[in-house]
Amino acid sequence: MLQVTADQISLFVATLAVAILSPGPGIIAVSQSAFAMGRRRALPYAWGLALGASLWCLAALLGLTVLFRVFPWTFTALKFLGGAYLVWVAWKMWRHAPDPLPDPAESRLGMSFWGGMALNLSNPKPALFYSAVLLSIFPATLSLADKAAIYATALSVELSFYTALACLMALPLLRRRYYAAKFWIDRGAGLAIGLLGLSLILRH
């Protein structure tokens, strides 16, 4: 029998929804992929981003944040590696900004299901966010069924958000605007993700 209540789950969903709406590399990346590739090819990337984000909830439920507290260097190492990965992704966006649009029959580097998952796994800070939210909303002791229900909720919210965003950004009007300003949009997206990566490396 579940210990968590419907009110707790509702509060969790509301808190998560607000947090997801804050600008981050996932939002920038899925928007840019939907602009460039359209809905059908952006959706797997969006689902990878959603799964990657939700895995930090699973990590928090399984106690990864305890490891960060006991061995702070592990969090520092993950932040550095994640930041370096984001900077690499940003460099690829910046460098390929002048390139023509990809052929729909070809795969675009990094914009796959696994590329999306890797991008959102590159930032360990959501593990701390999820840990704080879980501790503030739910009982300290959770059964396996409770943890499964919480993770399923987080995954559902992440999937719903990224799917909706990919579909919205792939609308013909927005895509036409992207075609007209591809160079500057790609450069702007690369710069934003690069700055996020650097802040992850440099911020204590």
Cβ atoms of residues 87 and 198 within 8 Å = yes
Give the residue among 75, 63, 85, 48 at the shortest CA–CA distance from 159.
Answer: 48
Q: What is the mean pLDDT of the chain?
A: 85
Distances (CA, A) of 177 to 83, 100, 170, 174: 30, 15, 11, 5
Q: Predicted confidence band at 12 (pLDDT cuts at 50, 70, 90)?
A: very high
Q: Domain map of the chain by residue range? A: 6-15+25-75+97-182
The helix-helix angle for 182-202 and 72-95 (nearest 10°) equals: 160
Q: pTM, whole model, 2 decimals? A: 0.78
Q: What are the tens digits of pLDDT across the range 109-140?
A: 467 899 999 988 988 878 878 888 887 888 87
